[in-house]
Chain A
Amino acid sequence: MTRRETVTWGLLRGTTLTLVCVFLLAPVAVVAVMSLNSGDSVLRWEGLSLQWYAAALSSQPLMSSLFMSLAVAATATAIAGVLGTMLAIGVHRVARGPLLRALALLPAFVPDIVLGIGTLSLFALFAWKIGFTSVVVAHAAFEIAIVAAFVLARLGGLDPALEEASANLGATRLRTFRRIVLPQLMPSILAGCALGFSLSLDEFIIAFFTTAAGSQTLPIQVYSMVRFGVSPEINALATMLLVVTIVIILAVQRALLPLILRRKP
């Protein structure tokens, strides 16, 4: 390649990269920048201020829905972590063909609206009250499939001789599971949980169908607020969530990826 071509390619690559970044990050950047606006317009910059952060943190509806979302995501993820892992192990042991696998992973692919209406109907059928429990159940349903998908992929790569080796060395099935199988599945379980947690946190459609007035999750609350115009405090809250998300992603990359990669035999 000549020097000229190299320069041309470099320019082209630089431009493309810049455009992609702008396209992907511009909306996020607008939210972040405007959250620091001192005025109450979401369009016009009037000066630097942290007042909307204060407003968001002191907004009772926003904070209670945020805690609701966190509680829902945490509970659903905890349930999914356990049940998803068990589901994956069961499917891995029993399934000979692809049908059972597909069935196990189905809830992750079912349209959210179907899952939402389905959960609503189920609760109506048994005359249970819609609220925290119903959102958790619905979110756990798709999170289980997500965790199971991660764990199944890992199980496929495990040497079945490891469990036999453990038994041969005198370990009971329980000990084998705790000391040999579980530690090797842990990175996949955590990765599945991290993804499930973040999907649950900002999930709208299912939550829309399965929450009641007093138990609204953050996305529902934000939606009901923006119907009457975007308030800058929502920008502040969104920015805080963004920072938390970035921290989680970095933590997953730092902590989990080496764990997964190191396991290559």
Chain B
Amino acid sequence: MTVHSPSPLLSVQGVDAHYGSVQALHGIDIDIREGESFAILGPSGSGKSTLLRLIAGFEPVSAGTVTLDGRDLAAVPAHRRPIGLMFQSYALFPHMSASANIAYGLRAEGVSRAETRRRTAEALETIGLASVADRRPARLSGGQRQRIALARALVKRPRMLLLDEPLSALDRRVRADMQAELKRLQHETGMTFVIVTHDQEEAMVLADRIALLRDGAIEQIGTPTQMYERPATAYVARFIGTSTLVPGVVRDNGLEVPGIGLVGHVDRNGWADGDRAALVLRPEHVELVPADTAAWRGRFVSASYLGGHVDALIETPHGEVTVRVPRLPELGWGEEIGLRITSSGRHLVPADDEIRTSHAA
């Protein structure tokens, strides 16, 4: 549940960041609310790591402001910011035991020895690792290391917690556990989480809201549902989930697609006749129909059985389309099949260069 406070906990306004002559961030505006789980998503080189480092205080902002609880952080050095950070590598101190790692931040803060001991023991108890308190990081498993890193950051009761690619270093099994644990923790403590990740799935699962970064600028901010169902741009549609973008021209109450005809009932809000746009087709927006009943036809390429459903890949003149079907289609390789767009998939994005070139090719 998201708590709506009148003013945001963390506010990033008009932030630019330069590395030498390279501009890593352009005019970033993000407001993060108290208690929210917020994901900063983007491919490598999109500036998401720079943004994280800048919030943590490891890099200076070139322009704009970062405020926490309304206080400008520009003059606050990293070690005085009440912001926890769980590093991607966990960055546990290798020469210290698990408990000494957790105690480190409390001692640095000037908490008394007795109080440090008490809170460290309590933190170890909470994460269920009291039995390995005296072990050094080298003798802990990946999942244990991550829990220690998490406890080390949270024991200081920061105002918010930054998580750098929190699940990427874990294998698949531990990942699912950790994901559930992070969600539970976030709900129980009401801690504000800011997750930095390149993995859209991680962002979709863990975050209440996502900011997608591209080349140092924000492409879109929204809830996972908004990002998936109503992407603002073709880039967002491609980055989040599986999609096929079918380009055409806006006309009447639909999109005129060469080779398919008029796809009706699209959400025309904000579009004028003659605009070049692309229809965002998710796997569940398309169904397979007999070839002779459809205007849009393609050839069957492959099918992936995914347990509850099957994703069939169909090669069409408009690109490869992934179609979600309930069971394996009885189709041979290269067999012709018809596609029909269901009424749920009628969202348009502006056509970009990539769509035109890929379509022309």
Question: Hey, which bits of chain A sit against chain B, CB under 8 A?
Answer: 159, 161-162, 164-172, 175, 179-180, 183-184, 262-265
Contacts and interface: CB of A to CB of B under 8 A. Distances in A.
Given A162-B93, A165-B93, 13 more contacts: A161-B88, A164-B85, A164-B87, A165-B85, A166-B93, A169-B153, A169-B156, A171-B79, A172-B79, A180-B93, A184-B94, A263-B95, A264-B138
Contacts of B85: 164-165, 168
B296 interface: no
A170 B80 contact: yes
A180 B107 CA distance: 13
B108 A171 contact: yes
A264 B78 CA distance: 28
Nearest to A161: B91
Q: Is the interface of A mostly helix, strand, loop or mixed?
A: helix
Contacts of B153: 168-169
B58 A164 contact: yes
B102 to A, nearest CB: 10
A169 B85 CA distance: 8
A164 B93 CA distance: 11
B91 A175 contact: no
Nearest to A176: B79
B21 to A, nearest CB: 16
B354 to A, nearest CB: 35
Nearest to A259: B95
7 contacts: A159-B89, A162-B93, A165-B92, A167-B77, A167-B79, A168-B79, A179-B104
Contacts of A264: 138
A96 B91 CA distance: 24
Interface of B: 56-58, 77-81, 83-85, 87-89, 91-95, 104-105, 108-109, 136-138, 152-153, 156
B95 A171 contact: no
Contact of B108 (A161, A170, A183): A170
Query: Ordered nearest first, which 3 A-B pairs have the shortest CB separation?
Result: A169-B105, A165-B91, A161-B91
Contact of A162 (B81, B84, B91, B156): B91
A262 B138 CA distance: 8
Contacts of B91: 159, 161-162, 164-165
A63 to B, nearest CB: 41
A247 B152 CA distance: 42
A166 B152 CA distance: 11
A261 to B, nearest CB: 10
Nearest to B104: A169
A168 B104 CA distance: 11
A60 B338 CA distance: 106
Contacts of A162: 91, 93-94
A112 B284 CA distance: 78
Given A167-B79, A172-B79, A265 B138 contact: yes
Contacts of A172: 79, 108
A169 B91 CA distance: 11
Contacts of A175: 108
A43 to B, nearest CB: 54
A264 B104 CA distance: 21
Contact of A167 (B78, B88, B136, B152): B78
A101 B58 CA distance: 26
Contacts of B83: 168
B136 A170 contact: no
A166 B109 CA distance: 11
Nearest to A183: B95
Given A179-B104, A265-B137, A168 B93 contact: no
Nearest to B87: A161
A263 B108 contact: no
**Residue from B58, B93, B109, B152 with most neighbouring chain A CB atoms (10 Å):** B93
B95 A184 contact: yes
A265 B91 CA distance: 10
Contact of A170 (B89, B105, B138): B105
A161 B57 CA distance: 13
Contacts of B57: 167
Given A162-B93, A263-B94, A170 B79 contact: yes
A162 B78 CA distance: 14
Nearest to B84: A168
Contacts of B109: 170
Nearest to A172: B79
Contact of A165 (B80, B87, B95): B87
A188 to B, nearest CB: 13
A169 B108 CA distance: 7
B73 to A, nearest CB: 13
B108 A168 contact: no
Contacts of A164: 56, 58, 78, 85, 87, 91
A161 B89 CA distance: 8
Nearest to A186: B95
A245 B81 CA distance: 51
